[in-house]
Amino acid sequence: MTARLLALDLRRGPAPLLALAMLGLGGALVLGAPGGCDGRWPDAVLALRDAGWIVFPCVLAAGVWRGGSARRRQLDDAITASPLPAWRRSAIEGGAIAIAGVATFVVLLAALTVTGGCTSGLLAGRPAAAALAGVLALLAAAFTGLALGRFAVTPMAAPLALLATLAVTFVAGGWSGGSTDAMLLFPAVGEDVTPRQLTVRISAGQILWFAGLAVSGWLLASRFPARFRLTRLVPAAAGLAALAALNPGAAG
Amino acid sequence: MRLVTLHARARRAGEIGWGLLGVAVACWALASFVQDTGALVQVLGPLAVVSLLGFGLGGDDPALERTMPQRWARWRAAELSVCAIAAAVALAPALLQADQHALAALRNLAGLGGLTALGAVALGARLAWLAPTAWAFTGSAVGPRAEDWLAALTWPAEAADATSALVLAALLAVIGAVLHMRHGSRVIPLS
């Protein structure tokens, strides 16, 4: 039943539109970038991670839109009465968005690897960890967006979340003279970062942070009607603590 | 007057007004306190404003509205005029602060506003923000470009003196306004 519902959500939810938008935007950014990856796979991973500044907010907005759909359609009561547990419904709704995001990430990485001939250092530990952090960031965006959508009372929440995330990424990142340490909280890596700087330690911290954020988002979204519980933020807080512990500079 | 008040309420005027106030404060703060605000003021500010105003281009039940014996083209023209004034007022503090990007931001406001109106015609008011967002993001990701024909397509990211960018933005503004006045928002009950 879960697989059937997931397939239905993948077809009829915002997932196909998201995948299309990500393919277009990510493709324009990554495949259209001058210079390419110079035959090195770590550079390909870095290019794709850097596209996170635009891809992460898109996935988040799709999650917000999906999270608020029950309220917009006035289906809250029907959903509360359904025998499907809320945590499974959230997993399905967030999962469809996450699948669209992650599948597009993998497709773009494969396309860049093949078309750019970026095979030197293929699947090496450091870039593989960075790629995994990018995938988990999309998972976190999908479930955090879903939770935000559950709590948002206005349909304007999706575009506002998208633009706010984008603005925060710009302000926090190296683009506007901000701190590169602050960028560890985001999937985008900043334009001055080289593959060598993206160490396994940094990626491990980001993996834990994004995983914690995803779990918190899922827990917060797993309730009809939405109710805020501080304890559901514990996984995100633990992930943040792990990120700070692994990268002491990020805590300051 | 009562009809105007009811119409404004049906268009979420209060909700959009609060949203615009928030965007105006955020844009002003970014323009005042952040270095290198080009993309923020030129693209994100106008995009935020038109995304919010797009929700006001249709009510919750456009099909029911059309049964009313009103001259809807005039009402929609008035709606678009109010939206244009509200957008300019919301962005004014930021543009006064970062005046080197003001012309490009106003061009983008017109072009993205036209795309929002087109989005409302094609996708409905609730999804109208998708059209300007897609074009602004793609334009920013690919542009700015030196080739004239490509600069027209990446107009949101181009400098203020790019003629082809200005022409396409103005064209989109006019087409969007005319089509929205003629057809209104698309009826999509479940979006």
Tell which residue, A245, A50, A233, A37, has the closest CA to residue A151: A233
- Structure confidence at residue B113 (pLDDT): 95
Nearest residue in chain A measured CA to CA from B135? A25
Q: Answer whether residue B55 is part of any domain.
A: yes
B35 touches chain A (CB under 8 A): yes
DSSP bridge partners of A40:
A120
A29 touches chain B (CB under 8 A): yes
A154 touches chain B (CB under 8 A): yes
Between residues A179 and B105, the one the model is more confident about: B105
Give just the sign of the alpha carbon dihedral A50, A53, A55, A59: positive
Q: Answer whether residue B97 is part of any domain.
A: yes
The pLDDT confidence band at residue B179, using thresholds 50, 70 and 90, is: very high
CA distance A85 to A218: 13
Contact call for A160 and B51, based on CB within 8 A: yes
Q: What would you measure as the largest C-alpha separation in chain B, in angstroms?
A: 53
The string of DSSP codes covering A84-107 is S-HHHHHHHHHHHHHHHHHHHHHH
The string of DSSP codes covering A181-195 is TGGGGSS---TT--G
CB count in 10 Å sphere of residue A247: 18
Q: Answer whether residue B188 is part of any domain.
A: no
Q: Answer whether residue B48 is part of any domain.
A: yes
pLDDT of B1 strictly over 50 = yes
B31 touches chain A (CB under 8 A): no
Q: Answer whether residue B99 is part of any domain.
A: yes
Contact call for A24 and B15, based on CB within 8 A: no
Q: What is the pLDDT of residues B124-163, one digit of tens each?
A: 888 899 999 989 988 887 777 777 777 778 888 888 888 8
**Which domain does B136 fall in, by range?**
2-183
Q: Are A186 and A53 in contact (CB under 8 A)?
A: yes
Give backbone dihedrals phi and psi of A135, rounded to 5 degrees, phi first: -65, -45
Mutation target vs A (from B101, B133, B140, B147; most A CBs, 10 A cutoff) = B133
Q: What is the pLDDT of residues B160-173, one digit of tens each?
A: 888 888 999 999 99
Q: Answer whether residue B57 is part of any domain.
A: yes
Which ipTM did the prediction report? 0.85
Please state the domain extents for chain A: 2-246
Q: Answer whether residue B90 is part of any domain.
A: yes
Our CA-based measurement puts residue B164 at a distance from the nearest CA of chain A, in whole angstroms, of 21
Residue type, A36: G
- Structure confidence at residue A179 (pLDDT): 54
Within 8 A by CB and 6+ apart from A67, the residues are A93, A145, A146, A147, A148, A149, A150, A152, A221
B134 touches chain A (CB under 8 A): yes
Rounded to the nearest 10 degrees, the angle between the axes of helix A125-151 and helix A86-115 is 140
- In eight-state DSSP terms, residue A40 is B
Q: Average pLDDT, whole number, for chain B? A: 87
CA distance A117 to A41: 9
Local confidence pLDDT in tens for the 252 residues of chain A = 778 888 888 888 888 888 888 888 887 777 766 666 777 888 888 888 888 888 889 999 999 998 888 777 777 777 777 888 888 888 898 899 999 999 999 998 888 888 878 878 777 788 899 899 999 999 999 999 999 998 888 889 999 999 999 888 887 765 545 456 777 888 877 666 677 777 888 889 999 999 999 999 999 988 766 677 778 888 999 999 998 888 776 544
Our CA-based measurement puts residue A231 at a distance from the nearest CA of chain B, in whole angstroms, of 30
Start-to-end CA span in chain B (Å): 31
DSSP bridge partners of A120:
A40
CA distance A164 to A53: 12
CA distance B54 to B185: 10
A32 → closest Cβ in B36, B51, B142: B142
Mutation target vs B (from A18, A66, A176, A191; most B CBs, 10 A cutoff) = A176
Burial class (CB in 10 A: 0-12, 13-18, 19+), B31: buried
Count of the separate structural domains present in chain B: 1
Contact call for B19 and A167, based on CB within 8 A: no
Token pair of A208 as six digits? 């834990």
Chains A–B, number of C-beta pairs less than 8 Å apart: 68
A29 → closest Cβ in B26, B36, B141: B141
Our CA-based measurement puts residue A163 at a distance from the nearest CA of chain B, in whole angstroms, of 7
Token pair of A58 as six digits? 């898109």
A75 touches chain B (CB under 8 A): no
Q: What does the pLDDT average to over B112-126?
A: 93
- In eight-state DSSP terms, residue B154 is T
- Structure confidence at residue A79 (pLDDT): 75
Q: How many CA atoms lie within 13 A of A118 on its CB side?
A: 26
Q: Answer whether residue B120 is part of any domain.
A: yes
